[in-house]
Structure 1
Amino acid sequence: MQTQRLQKLSDNVYVVPGRTNAGVLVIDNNECVIVDTGIDEDSGRRILNAIKPLNLRVRAIINTHHHADHIGGNALIVKRSGAAVYATPEDKPFIERPVLEPLYLFGSFPPKLLRTKLLEAEGVPVRDLDDIRREVGFEAIPLPGHTMGMAGISYGNVLFTADAFFPLDVIRKYGAPYHLNAGLALESLKKLSECVSRYGYVVPAHGDILKPQDAINVINENINAINRLRELVLNSINDSVALEDLIVKIFSLLGISIDSPHNYLLNRSALLSYVAWLTDDGLLTIDTVGNKLIVSRSRK
């Protein structure tokens, strides 16, 4: 991870490195647009402090998607700068009402133990990303999969890829990282692998800033991880198995140690994406037997 508080990539693009990298797009001599704001008020404060030497007014915030570690600094930056927040129509409701994130993971209105900054930020009003795109002139690249409306941001020779792919250490630790729709995530990765060579820098939300060929290598590892996990899920079902038993079995096979309810729900959600994908492809069926949800191999 880069340690500089502010890293210059071009005359009009900077990055504030951190656990979630934040982008700074300079749109004229005295204004900027921030891409993602980190997990909490401290993250937002760190971004504002980092850009102080640039003497720029924050005109807008772009959220590449709605997860808490990308929107947690929104409220503080909005309060201090008056900036408007922009996102895709698919992710807009979750940024305005962040309780929706723990709600869909839990499957009902979430208990207080899940309503922390790890899953639920402070909500802010959100405008359509396309409005600021036309005004500023960046390109918004649809990258659905991690969320349904995630977008990459291209500005000059820099491409911000949000959570479309993850560093190799994350892949090695978790087998495959979180995606809400793994099939769509795979298609987004394939699209990225074909276009990143056009850029001078590729900035993932997590991990180091990459040159195009290095980014392609990491993208390919993410593609391989998704394909491996799909096969693992399918091959873990000999005939039929209760859904929750399947989840525990896959955790064990991946060597995942669940240390909190929110980690359980995130990993469970990720694995359910593969079950849904395989079901839609006709390889699995889902039914109820003995008051349990049962996943079975399809009989052709």
Structure 2
Amino acid sequence: MKFIQLSETCYYFESAVNIGYIKSGESGMLIDAGLDRQAAKKVISQLEKNELPLTHLFITHAHADHYGGASYIQEQLAVYTFASKEEAAILRNPVLEPLYLFHGALPLPELRNKFLEGPPIAVDEEVTEGTYWFGEQSFECIALPGHSLMQMGVLSDGILYAADSYFGAEQLFKHKIPYIIDAEETLHSLNRLLELNAAGAVPGHGAFEASFKDTVKVNASYHLKVLDSLEKKLTPSGIPFDEVIQSMCEEYDVAAERLSSWLLYRTAITAYLTKLIKEEKVEFIIRDAMLFVRSKN
């Protein structure tokens, strides 16, 4: 885990899941907390080594790889914690994540793991878009939904902490079918990133880039490619929904061998289908108590 300074006040911990840090006088704010207590311990250790304060915590979205270490931080330090109202509901009740992935049924024990359900945390302030302060420093909250219900990015001192609104190119292609819950909002958020004035950006997964907008464009093109691939598979007579998932996983060489992986891909593919349904290009139908997807053209 490398600790990298980006500006006079902005830093980040470069890791499989990036963690941001902003210093403001005697105050310091983490942006996300990593997967688990081990990640959080490393962060606290690095900050102590560099004699940097930790007084605030901002959780961009309620996916366990971004907040799993937060409970340990709250146990060790009196940190004031920010999150959006929608994400705070899950942060306070983490079972909601495996619950919604498992069709709303009580999730099986195998789904209640640290990758899908972090320990619950307290949220002191629910934020919306706009300007907030900690210590002597202001920061902008920017709504970037699509990957989650109300993911928030943070912009401070010209540095954008973009969370999972986009991925580094290597991580994007590695994921093959990126996890999203709303394709339309995902593309809208990517367009917002292209309009932002920032000196550089840190994605949730991938390296900091000064010229991050080229990578944002790669993300947008990739999502459109997935949408096109999906639409081409559908026929007027209809295809069973599970076969659509299977066909997309085969095309993108995805090995969804565990229940948790399959549920994540099912959610993402549903998110892409939802955009096509809103555009009246495809529709869901029920036939013989089975869910089918068919094109309307």
Question: By how many angstroms is 1:55 displaced?
Answer: 2.5
Contact 2:98 2:111 in 1 (8 A): yes
In the alignment, structure 1 residue 194 sits paired with structure 2 residue 191: no
Aligned partners of 1:110, 1:218: CA distance in 2, in Å?
36
- Deviation larger for 132-141 or 228-237: 132-141
Aligned partners of 2:165, 2:203: CA distance in 1, in Å?
8
Contact 2:128 2:143 in 1 (8 A): no
Q: Provide the residue aligned with 1:105 in structure 2.
A: 101
Q: Give the TM-score normalised by the residue count of structure 2.
A: 0.94
3-state SS of 1:199 partner: coil
1:147-190 deviations in whole A, cap 9, x for unaligned? 11001100102111100111222332343411111110001101
Q: Of 286, 291, 294, which residue of structure 1 is paired with 2:284?
A: 286
Q: Provide the residue aligned with 2:50 in structure 1.
A: 54
Aligned partners of 1:131, 1:243: CA distance in 2, in Å?
37
Contact 1:175 1:225 in 2 (8 A): no
Question: By how many angstroms is 1:293 displaced?
Answer: 0.6
1:110-166 deviations in whole A, cap 9, x for unaligned? 011010001000001212135995333100111110011001100102111100111
Contact 1:145 1:180 in 2 (8 A): yes
In the alignment, structure 1 residue 141 sits paired with structure 2 residue 142: yes
Go from structure 1 to structure 2 and tell me whether the alpha carbon gap of 1:134 and 1:166 turns closer, same or farther (over 3 Å shift): closer
Q: CA RMSD in A?
A: 1.6
1:1-300 paired onto structure 2 within 5 Å: 4=2, 6-28=3-25, 30-107=26-103, 108-126=105-123, 127-129=125-127, 133-136=131-134, 137-195=138-196, 198-211=197-210, 213=211, 215-239=212-236, 240-298=238-296
Contact 2:84 2:127 in 1 (8 A): yes
Question: By how many angstroms is 1:32 displaced?
Answer: 0.4
1:211-263 deviations in whole A, cap 9, x for unaligned? 1x2x1111111101110111111110122011111111111111111132111
Aligned partners of 1:288, 1:242: CA distance in 2, in Å?
9
Instruction: Give the letter aligned to residue 154 of structure 2.
Output: I
Identity of aligned residues (%): 24
Aligned partners of 1:173, 1:27: CA distance in 2, in Å?
36
Question: By how many angstroms is 1:199 displaced?
Answer: 2.2
- Deviation larger for 34-43 or 57-66: 57-66
Question: By how many angstroms is 1:84 displaced?
Answer: 2.5
Contact 1:23 1:35 in 2 (8 A): yes
Contact 1:62 1:85 in 2 (8 A): yes
Instruction: Give the letter aligned to residue 157 of structure 2.
Output: G
Instruction: Give the letter aligned to residue 262 of structure 2.
Output: Y
More helix by share: 1
Instruction: Give the letter aligned to residue 265 of structure 2.
Output: N
Question: By how many angstroms is 1:10 displaced?
Answer: 1.7
Q: Give the TM-score normalised by the residue count of structure 1.
A: 0.93
Instruction: Give the letter aligned to residue 149 of structure 1.
Output: M
Give the aligned length: 291
Aligned partners of 1:96, 1:23: CA distance in 2, in Å?
22
Contact 2:239 2:292 in 1 (8 A): yes
Aligned partners of 1:293, 1:112: CA distance in 2, in Å?
27
Contact 2:47 2:53 in 1 (8 A): no
3-state SS of 1:79 partner: helix
